[in-house]
Every structure is written in C-alpha cells, then in structure tokens.
Amino acid sequence: MSKPINVFSEIGKLKTVMLHRPGKELENLMPDYLERLLFDDIPFLEQAQKEHDHFAGMLRDKGVEVVYLEDLAAESLVSEEVRIQFIDQYLDEAGIRSHAVREKVREMLIATEDNRELIDKTVAGIQKVEMPEYQIEGLADMIESAYPFIIDPMPNLYFTRDNFATMGNGVSLNHMYSVTRQREAIYGQYIFEYHPRFAGNEVPKVYDRNDTTRIEGGDELVLSKDVLAVGISQRTEAASIEKLAKNIFKQELGFNCVLAFNIGEYRKFMHLDTVFTMIDYDKFTIHPEIEGELEVYSITPKADGELNIVREEDTLEHILAKYLNRDSVQLIRCGDGNVTAAAREQWNDGSNTLTIAPGEVVVYDRNTVTNKALEKAGVKLNYIHGSELVRGRGGPRCMSMPLYREDLTK
Ligand SMILES: NC(=[NH2+])NCCC[C@H](N)C(=O)O
C-alpha cells in the first residue's frame, strides 16, 4: 500500500476500516440530556459491545483490516509534548468554566500514563463524583452544581463515519453541527498530524475542522474516482460543499464533479447516507420519502478556480446513470416501497448499508423488508444484530470509516 488512504469509490473491495468500540461514554447517557447528545435511548453497553465485536469480527472474516480510532489516537501521542498539547486542547474544547476545576482535571489526565487509558477517559467524559477533590469553589460551580458532569461524554464516537471522511488519498476533517460532536474531531486532527501511519505521508486535507460552516461524513459519498455526492442536510450546509469542492479541484485529488443532494433538514434523516447508499456499480438504496422533493445540483470546476453550478432537471436514475457512465441504474427502495415499512426501517438504518465489495454489503438483520428487496435485486448480504447499537441512530455505514479500498477495474 503506497498511500495510507485510498478511497476512490463506495464499493471497491474494503481493505482497511476504522471503527470505535463503544465504551463507558454510553453509560454516561441520562434521559435529561439525550436530545442534546443526539441519542434517542440508552443502549445496554455490554450488549452493544457484543454487537459491535460481531460487526468487527465479520469484517475481519472478510479479510478486512480493522483498526480502532481509540488505538490510533493513543498511538498519535508520540511524545510528552504532543500528549500535553492534546490534553490542553481537549480541555479548551471541553467547556469547563472554572479555572480551578480545569487545573485538577488537567493534573488527573497528565497522571494517566497509559495513552489508551487517557484516550478512553477523554471519550467517556468525567462525572463530578469521580473526583473526590472536586469542590464547589466559585459562582460558576455553584450555579451548575446540579449538573453531574465536569466534562460531557462523547456517545456518538462509534459513528466513525462522521467526524472525518476519507476521499481519494485525502481527508476532510469536519466541522460538526453540534457542540457534542464537534469535540470528537480532535482525534482525527491528532491521528493525521502525528500517527506514524499517516504523518510524513502526504495526506491532503480538503476541509478544516476550524472552518465556520458545518459538514459531516455521513453526507460525503465517493460515487466514483471522478464523482462525489454530498448531502445538503441538517448536518451539512451548502456553503461547506462549495468550499470542499474548491479544495478538491484545487488539490487535484482526481474528482471532477460533486453532486449536491438537497435532502432537507430533518433529524430522522440527518445525513445523506441515512437515505441513500451505493451498493454496486449500478445499484443504490434509497428511502422513498426523499425521492419526490430531492433536488440535485452538479458542481464542476471552471478554469479560473470558480465553480460551475447547475441544477439537474432529471430523475435521480438518469442523473446517476449520466454521471457514472452507465446505461441505467437501479434504485432499491427502503421498505420495498411500502410507506410504513420504509419509515420504520429507515429509522432503524435500513438504507444505511456498508458496501464491502461490489454488490456485497453489511446490513442490520432487523430490517427484514428492505433486506428481502436487496436480496431480490441480487445483492449479497452479511447480517449483523443491532438492537442496542441502533439506539444511537446509525447503521453499518455510519459505524465505519474506510481507510483503504481496492480501486475498481470497470
Ligand atoms: N453517518 C451517519 N448517518 N451517522 C449517524 C449519526 C447518529 C448520531 N446520533 C448523530 O445524530 O449524529
């Protein structure tokens, strides 16, 4: 493998993928704060871990190298200086108001010598009761005294798809929509800066997490070596797509067109990949609820570095066939087109397939109607259980970030 990142499609044989095994952060979920933390329920951690281990095991059985974000992040703390820099930045972003409390937490984190333990702690968050020396000292502490956390958990980290996204040989380090998720992007920042696997290798950055407009990986799809699809959604703004497109064209990653899909701003389909994924050269999943109003814009480079933006006035099938150079493409509908089944199964990530080779995908077993429709279309399915994992509203694609896919041959 010459370049550490190689992702020129959604469907090329998956060689290396990054996951995060859910941990203690899920046990720091409480009903009062679920909405803010973007969860709908509280998963049973042990069961969620079993489900996740099964997902990882299945990928390994398919010959995929599975790496964990938490290991990569720990291995990125390559010197004491980088460790301290990471801790200070993490604390800056954690929103601790009291200076005295911040100092105590800093001491505690610095004293955590094992880097994996340190990373796990930063993900899990810190309850006030965990620090016996924690005292209410100033007005800020008094006012916030009922709130149980010094630092909030990051329960969405197992959706590794979102906080950065690989495309071509490069990576988009994302500015996330919510305060709770924006903090997650620190791991990607350190991994690409310091991890021996990436540092020193040219990994072009096509988005910066400090940018002011938001974008998330669930909206970023690599349709081919020429074409990206990006959702305009609850999570991704149109302005970010223009910036991404300009960077990609300027840095010559190989892509020459971005299709922007306007899917509207809804919690139930927060990202493009919750309603649309690619599973073969000419096959896609789609949630029928977005089909009617879907607007697609094509963005291509102009000679002067500006963008040529055109609203595509055709059916989605025709637009995809045109940009992917196919005679025709097939859209496979979530819930097999039944309104109720489609809504139920989309909510449980029925359209959120992870493609591991052309025509072969990973799906949740619970979405029986959609799965049958996929089988009928000749797609090879690998099932995982997701009763607990799904409570965070994400499926196999959301829970994985490909680092390396084989290039396609046709
Ligand atoms: N790529 C995805 N669809 N990710 C799903 C993320 C779910 C997560 N709870 C959130 O709201 O951010």
For 49-87, what is each residue's pLDDT tens digit? Answer: 999 999 999 999 999 999 999 999 999 999 999 999 999
Q: Which one of the listed residues 398, 399, 401, 403 is annotated catalytic? A: 398
Q: Which of 398, 399, 401 to mutate to test the pocket of ligand 1 (most atoms within 8 A of CB)?
A: 398
For 181-190, what is each residue's pLDDT tens digit? Answer: 999 999 999 9
Asked if residue 337 has pLDDT above 70, the reply is yes
Q: Which of 122, 89, 120, 354 is nearest to 209 (CA)?
A: 89
Q: Find the mean pLDDT for residues 323-342.
A: 96
Query: What does the chain come to in residues?
Result: 410
**284 or 128: which leads in pLDDT:** 284
The answer to whether position 292 is within a domain reads yes
Domain boundaries, position 271: 156-405
d(CA 129, ligand 1 centre) in Å:
30
Q: Is 398 a catalytic residue?
A: yes
**pLDDT score recorded for residue 202:** 78
Per DSSP, the three-state class of 127 is strand
- Is there an atom of ligand 1 within 6 Å of 350 CB? no
Strands 295-301 and 257-264: antiparallel
How many domains are there within the chain? 1
**pLDDT score recorded for residue 73:** 98
Q: What's the order of all strands across the beta sheet hosting 380-384?
A: 354-357, 360-364, 380-384
Q: What percent of the chain has pLDDT over 90?
A: 89
Strands 283-286 and 330-333: parallel
- Neighbouring CB atoms inside 10 A of 339's CB total 10
**pLDDT score recorded for residue 39:** 95
For 25-39, what is each residue's pLDDT tens digit? Answer: 999 999 999 999 999
The answer to whether position 197 is within a domain reads yes
- Is there an atom of ligand 1 within 6 Å of 177 CB? no
Q: Is residue 367 exposed (0-12), middle (13-18) or buried (19+ Cβ within 10 Å)?
A: buried
Q: Find the mean pLDDT for residues 317-332.
A: 97
- Is there an atom of ligand 1 within 6 Å of 269 CB? no
* C-alpha of 203 from chain center: 18
The answer to whether position 186 is within a domain reads yes
**130 or 78: which leads in pLDDT:** 78
d(CA 270, ligand 1 centre) in Å:
7
The answer to whether position 261 is within a domain reads yes
Angle at 77 between CA 166 and CA 51, to 5 degrees: 55
Ligand 1 atom with minimal separation from the 235 CA:
12
Asked if residue 171 has pLDDT above 60, the reply is yes
The answer to whether position 151 is within a domain reads no
**Which residues lie below 8 Å from residue 253, measured CB to CB, with a gap of 6+?**
167, 168, 169, 170, 204, 206
The answer to whether position 58 is within a domain reads no
- Is there an atom of ligand 1 within 6 Å of 392 CB? yes
pTM of the model: 0.96
Asked if residue 138 has pLDDT above 80, the reply is no
The answer to whether position 379 is within a domain reads yes
Range in 69-73, 210-214, 406-410 with the lowest mean pLDDT: 406-410
For 216-266, what is each residue's pLDDT tens digit? Answer: 999 999 999 999 999 999 999 999 999 999 999 999 899 999 999 999 999
> What are the phi and psi torsion angles at 6 (to 5°)?
-150, 95
Grade residue 134 by pLDDT with cuts at 50, 70 and 90.
low
d(CA 26, ligand 1 centre) in Å:
15
* C-alpha of 256 from chain center: 23
CATH number at residue 313: 3.75.10.10
The answer to whether position 36 is within a domain reads no
- Is there an atom of ligand 1 within 6 Å of 18 CB? no
